A = this chain, B = another copy of it.
Amino acid sequence: MQHTDISLIGEFGLIDRIRKIVDVRVDDFALHDNLMMGIADDAAVFRPTPGKVQLFTTDAFVEGIHFDLTFTSFKHLGWKIIAANISDIAAMGGIPRYAAITLSLPKKISVEMVEELYRGAIFVCKKYSCLIVGGDTTSSMASMVISVALTGEADERFVRYRKDAKPGEYICVTGHLGASLAGLKVLKREKERFVKSNDSPAFKPNLEPYALAIEKHLMPKPRLDISKILKEHVQIGAMIDISDGLASEIHHICNNNEVGAMIHEQNIPIEAVTQKIAGEFTESPFDYSLYGGEEYELLFTISEEEYSKLEKLTTDITIIGRVTEKEKGIILVREQGEEEPLRFVGWDHFRY
């Protein structure tokens, strides 16, 4: 890869290069038909779909906090920051539409690195049908900061909130949990091994057996697939995406609804690779899944009756507990049956 200093082409030169990458066709033609102006003006302009409500979310990633450029490619970074925002739209029962990317770039970042990041962003945009229509690029004193704002649309009656959970409902999650943190642990371990190898040409990273966990960490897939099933076929209660960790999201749901919860640890879906990695670190895979974060799976509540319809439509959903009365508290039932309060701990950048 060539490395062109951004100062050689300036901000406007960089924007021209970005514009060439983001100008792609996706299959949802309404997106293009309704976009009247993209990144070539003071603001993007689009016609909202009549009768739909607009969704609006934003998520920022900071180098050294959310990502480490020694083991995160720019393409993966572009994917992940857009995917994280799409996940928020999925958690509301909507579909993504238009994105704006803001980059604060330290001197070490070249034009080609920015292009790679946009290629990753475009890759996920094509997959989930949204368009990049704006943004801002600035320099940065030290670390790189990426912030994405994303709009989405939904039928008003299909919008799902964090509120609306009722005692007695099941608490369900999509996919499996804990793999994202497990993947990160492996990436960090291999980085350490590489540093210790003193840049030896004989060094080979050992990633292959952990591919599924690493992919989950670097290229998470927002669950628009399940979100679509949930809104079209069943009536659910509350919904939230798991970005800060399962334990933290359960607390959010309980606090928003003045309810309690009982979570059964052994019901939490955990992949074999996550168990393997946790074993290698002599840590608990349950801890990974409860406090790990960056999963981008969905957590929702649903009545028994509605669940019986849902289980015929997908196998990618697991019941991990039940909503209870507030007085019961937020309880974790451990593998051996002991009950304890579920700690309100997650991926909180200000504490770690």
Contact of A56 among B44, B87, B105, B143 (CB under 8 A): B44
Complex copy number for this chain: 2
Q: Complex Cα distance A66/B350, Å? A: 24
Given A6-B350, A145-B104, are A162 and B62 also a contact pair (CB < 8 Å)?
no
Give the residues in chain B near A145, CB-CB below 8 Å.
60, 62, 104, 140, 145, 147
Tally A residues with Cβ within 8 Å of B.
70
Given A147-B147, A161-B37, are A57 and B100 also a contact pair (CB < 8 Å)?
yes
Once the chains bind, are B133 and A56 in contact (CB under 8 Å)?
yes
A138 contacts B by Cβ under 8 Å: yes
Considering only CB atoms, which chain B residue lies closest to A345 in the complex? Answer: B10
Q: Complex Cα distance A138/B40, Å? A: 29
Q: Complex Cα distance A162/B139, Å? A: 25
Given A56-B44, A162-B41, are A349 and B139 also a contact pair (CB < 8 Å)?
yes
**Which one of A89-97, A206-214, A264-272, A308-316 is at the B interface?**
A89-97
A337 contacts B by Cβ under 8 Å: no
Contact of A55 among B45, B66, B240, B349 (CB under 8 A): B45
Once the chains bind, are A149 and B45 in contact (CB under 8 Å)?
no
Contact of A43 among B41, B57, B60 (CB under 8 A): B57
Give the residues in chain B near A100, CB-CB below 8 Å.
56-58, 149
Give the residues in chain B near A348, CB-CB below 8 Å.
10-12
A53 contacts B by Cβ under 8 Å: yes
Give the residues in chain B near A161, CB-CB below 8 Å.
37, 41
Within 8 A of B (CB), among A201-236: none
Once the chains bind, are B45 and A48 in contact (CB under 8 Å)?
no
Within 8 A of B (CB), among A124-156: 133-136, 138-143, 145, 147, 149, 151-152, 154, 156
Once the chains bind, are B138 and A56 in contact (CB under 8 Å)?
no
Distance of A251 from chain B, by nearest CB (Å)? 9
Once the chains bind, are A350 and B62 in contact (CB under 8 Å)?
no
Q: Complex Cα distance A188/B62, Å? A: 29
Q: Complex Cα distance A162/B37, Å? A: 10
Given A11-B348, A139-B349, A142-B143, are A43 and B63 also a contact pair (CB < 8 Å)?
no
Once the chains bind, are A350 and B147 in contact (CB under 8 Å)?
no
Distance of A14 from chain B, by nearest CB (Å)? 7
Q: Complex Cα distance A147/B101, Å? A: 10
Give the residues in chain B near A56, CB-CB below 8 Å.
43-46, 98, 100, 133-134, 149, 151
A318 contacts B by Cβ under 8 Å: no
Once the chains bind, are B58 and A152 in contact (CB under 8 Å)?
no
Considering only CB atoms, which chain B residue lies closest to A241 in the complex? Answer: B42
Within 8 A of B (CB), among A1-58: 6-7, 10-12, 14, 36-37, 40-48, 50, 53-58
Once the chains bind, are B141 and A142 in contact (CB under 8 Å)?
yes
A195 contacts B by Cβ under 8 Å: no
Q: Complex Cα distance A30/B234, Å? A: 32
Q: Complex Cα distance A37/B139, Å? A: 33
Considering only CB atoms, which chain B residue lies closest to A51 in the complex? Answer: B50
Once the chains bind, are A65 and B143 in contact (CB under 8 Å)?
no
Query: Which residues from chain A sit less than 8 Å from chain B, CB to CB?
Result: 6-7, 10-12, 14, 36-37, 40-48, 50, 53-66, 87-89, 91-92, 94, 98, 100, 102, 104-105, 133-136, 138-143, 145, 147, 149, 151-152, 154, 156, 159, 161-162, 240-241, 256, 348-351
